[in-house]
Chains A and B, each alone.
Chain A
Amino acid sequence: MALLEISDLHTYYGQIHALKGITLTVGEGEIVTLVGANGAGKSTTLRTVSGIARPRTGSIRFAGRDITGMKPHDIAALGISHVPEGRRIFPLLTVQENIEIGAWNVADRKQIGKRMQEMFALFPRLRERVQQKGGTLSGGEQQMLAIARALMCDPKVLLLDEPSMGLAPVLVEGIFDIITRINQEQKTTILLVEQNALMALEVASRGYVLQSGKIVLADTAHALMHNEEVRRVYLGEN
C-alpha cells in the first residue's frame, strides 16, 4: 500500500478548475516528482495535500487514513511537511526561531535540540547565521532554512515545491544533493514539484507529467527522461 494515495482530485480556485482529476501514489521511501509547465497544477496538488487548498471532490489518503479536507495543522501533525513555493520563511524571526517553529508539535526539548544539531550538520551555513533574521538570508540560505524547518518534526512525507526556484545554478546542484541525502539518510518520502524537470527526474524514482490540471504521463523517472515527448516539451530539446 502506498504511503500517499491521491485519487481523482478536483480543486478549484474560485471559478478556475485547477485540478481536473489528479490520481497519483507515492510509496514509502520514494522520491516522486511532478513536472509540467507553469499553471499545470503542480503546486495546487501539493497545496491540496497539505490542506491549504480544499478539494471539491476526490480523496487523499495518508498511511491508509483519509485526510481529505483536514486542517493544515492537523495534516502537519500527522507527519506531512510542506516546503511551500517561494520558501515562505518567517522574515522577522531569527534562523533559530524559524527552525524551532518547525518543531511546533514536538514536545520533547531534547529531541528538538538533537534534531536541530542534525539540521546544522546538513546545512552548516545555517549554524553560522543562527541569530540572524530570516529575511536577511540569501535565497539559497532561505531555501536551506525552509527545508530544515520542514524537517524539524521528522516528517514521514516531505512536500517540496520548487526548491530550485530563483537559485543560482551552483546552488541548485547543492539543493538536489541535499534532497537525495534526506531521502537516503532519513528515509523521508519526498514528493517533489519542479520546473527544472531534468534535475528532478535525475533524483526521482518515478515521475508524473502534468498538463492543465491533468496527469498526461506517469512512468519511472528513467523512462520519462528518455521519452521523446517529455524531452521535447519539458527538457527543451528539439
Chain B
Amino acid sequence: MEARSPADWMYRFLLFPLGQMLAFIAGSAFILTLLAYGIALLFPEPRPNIVLADQIGRQLPGMVISGITTGFVYAMIALGYTMVYGVLKFINFAHSELFMVGSVVGFEVFLVFSAQAMLLTWHPVLLVAIAVLSAGLVSGLLAVTMERVAYRPLRGAPRLVPLISAIGVSFFMVDFVRALMAITRNDFNLTYPLNGVDWARAPIPLLIGTTTVNLRPTQIIIIVGAVLMLLFLNYFVNGTKLGRGIRAVSQDMTTAGLMGINVNRIIALTFFVGGAFGGAAGALFGMNVGTVTPFVGFFPGLKAFIAAVLGGIGSVTGALLGGLTLGMIESFLNGVLVYFPVFGQRYTDIFAFAVLILILIFRPSGILGEKVDEKV
C-alpha cells in the first residue's frame, strides 16, 4: 500500500468532489438561465404589464439558491436508490419512506428539544446535527431491517418479485407511521416547533448585485449539511476498505465472495448508508418545509428516483449530478411558469416526469451511466 501525500488526499476527497458539485451547479444554472431567457424571447409579455425578461433577472439568484437546496435533497435521496441499485440491480421503491421516516424522526427530536427548552439555549449547529444524525440512524437501521425481512429472502427470484415486495413495504410503512402518529399524537400533520425560532426562520437578506434575496436559514442548513455528508460519502466509498468492498460487490458479487467478502454484510451496509442519507435528507427537508406527514415521501422519493435515472443509475456521481440538475430544472420552471396564465407553478411536476420519459427513451443509461454491456 503506497502512502498517499496529504495534497493528494486533499485533492481526492475535498477539492475534486467540491469542484464537481460547483461545476454541476454552475453548469445547470447557466444552461437553464439561457433557456429561461429563450422563453422570454418567445413570450416577452406572458401577461399584460409583465415583462418576463425583467422578472427572470430579478428572480435569478433566488431560483438558483432554491434549485441548489431542492437539488441537494434530491441528490441525497437519489444516493440511496443508486447505491442499492449498484449492488443488487434492484430499485428499492420503499426508499422514499426512509426519507419520510427521517422527516418524522427529525420532528420528534425537535419536539424533545422544544419540550426541554433546548431550542433557544443550545447551539443551532448541535441541535441540527443531533436531529439529522438521529434521523439518519433510524432510517439506516430501518433500511437494514427492510432488506433482511423483505428483500433478502427474495434474492434470486425474478426481478419483478422484490420490486413488488418493495411497493408493499412502502405502503406498509406509510400506514404504519400514520397509525403510530394517530395513536400517539392524534394527528399526522407534524409541524416542526421552529416557528419563531430565529436561527431557523429569520430570513437572511443577501445582496446580489442590485437585488436582495431573502435566504431561509434552513436552506443554508440543507446546503451545508448536504455538502458535508456528500464529502463524507465520497471519502467512505472511494477511500476506505468498506467502500472498496461495496464497489467490489457492485461490480461482481460472486467474485467478491471468493475474495472473502461477506456479501450479505456489504449489502446490509449499503442499505444502511443509503437509508441513512435518505433519513438525514428527510430531517433537513422537514426543517425547511415545516410540516411533514406520513405521505411526504412520495413526491421527493419519485423525483429523486428520476434524478438517479437522469444522472445514471448505479453511479454515485450521477446521483449528485441528476439531483442538482433536476432541482435546478424545477426551480427555474417554477420561477418562469408562475408568470404564465393557466400554466402555473402547479404543473412543474409534469416536467420532472417528462424528463424521466425523455431520458428513458433517448439515453436510458443516464448522463453518467455506464454502458449496459460493461456490466458482467
Could you list which residues of chain A lie within 8 angstroms of chain B, going by C-beta atoms? 50-52, 71-73, 76-77, 81-82, 84, 88, 90-93, 96-97, 100-102, 104-105, 109, 112-113, 116, 130, 135, 149, 153
Contacts and interface: CB of A to CB of B under 8 A. Distances in A.
A104 to B, nearest CB: 4
Contact of A72 (B1, B244, B257, B374): B257
Interface of B: 1-2, 241, 244-245, 247-248, 251-252, 254-263, 374, 376
A162 to B, nearest CB: 15
A67 B47 CA distance: 78
B258 A104 contact: no
Residue of B245, B254, B259 contacting most chain A CB atoms (<10 Å): B259
10 closest residue pairs by CB, A with B: A72-B257, A76-B260, A105-B260, A88-B255, A104-B260, A90-B251, A73-B262, A82-B258, A113-B1, A73-B260
27 contacts: A71-B257, A71-B262, A73-B260, A73-B262, A76-B258, A77-B260, A88-B252, A90-B251, A91-B251, A91-B374, A92-B247, A92-B251, A101-B244, A101-B245, A101-B256, A101-B259, A101-B261, A102-B259, A104-B245, A104-B260, A104-B261, A105-B260, A109-B1, A112-B1, A116-B1, A149-B259, A153-B260
A63 to B, nearest CB: 17
Contacts of B244: 93, 97, 100-101
Nearest to B243: A97
A24 B256 CA distance: 27
B50 to A, nearest CB: 51
A108 to B, nearest CB: 11
A101 B258 contact: no
A104 B256 CA distance: 10
A238 to B, nearest CB: 40
B248 A101 contact: yes
Contacts, number: 72
A84 B255 contact: yes
Contact of B259 (A76, A112, A130): A76
A153 B259 CA distance: 9
Contacts of B256: 90, 101
Contacts of A82: 258
A153 B263 CA distance: 18
Contacts of B248: 90, 93, 101
B139 to A, nearest CB: 28
B1 to A, nearest CB: 5
Given A72-B254, A84-B258, A88-B254, 11 more contacts: A50-B258, A71-B262, A76-B259, A81-B258, A88-B252, A90-B256, A91-B251, A92-B251, A93-B248, A100-B241, A104-B259
Nearest to A52: B254
A73 B241 CA distance: 16
Contacts of A130: 2
A90 B246 CA distance: 12
A156 to B, nearest CB: 13
A171 to B, nearest CB: 22
A93 B1 contact: no
Given A73-B263, A90-B247, A101-B245, A52 B257 contact: yes
Contacts of A52: 254, 257-258
Contact of B2 (A96, A101, A135, A149): A96
Which of A50, A97, A113 gathers most chain B CB within 10 Å?
A: A97
A93 B247 contact: yes
A135 B374 CA distance: 9
A130 to B, nearest CB: 8
Nearest to B238: A97
A72 B266 CA distance: 14
Contacts of A100: 1, 241, 244
A112 to B, nearest CB: 6
A135 B370 CA distance: 13
A104 B255 CA distance: 12
Contact of B255 (A77, A90, A105): A90
B2 A73 contact: no
A115 B2 CA distance: 13
Nearest to B265: A73
Contacts of A88: 252, 254-255, 376
Contacts of B261: 73, 101, 104
Contacts of B262: 71, 73
Nearest to B370: A92
Contacts of B374: 91, 135
A17 to B, nearest CB: 21
A16 to B, nearest CB: 17
Contacts of B260: 73, 76-77, 104-105, 153
Nearest to B255: A88
Contact of A93 (B251, B254, B258, B263): B251
B146 to A, nearest CB: 22
Contact of A73 (B1, B252, B257, B376): B257
B257 A76 contact: yes
A153 B260 CA distance: 9
A88 B374 CA distance: 13
A105 to B, nearest CB: 4
A11 B123 CA distance: 63
A101 B258 CA distance: 10
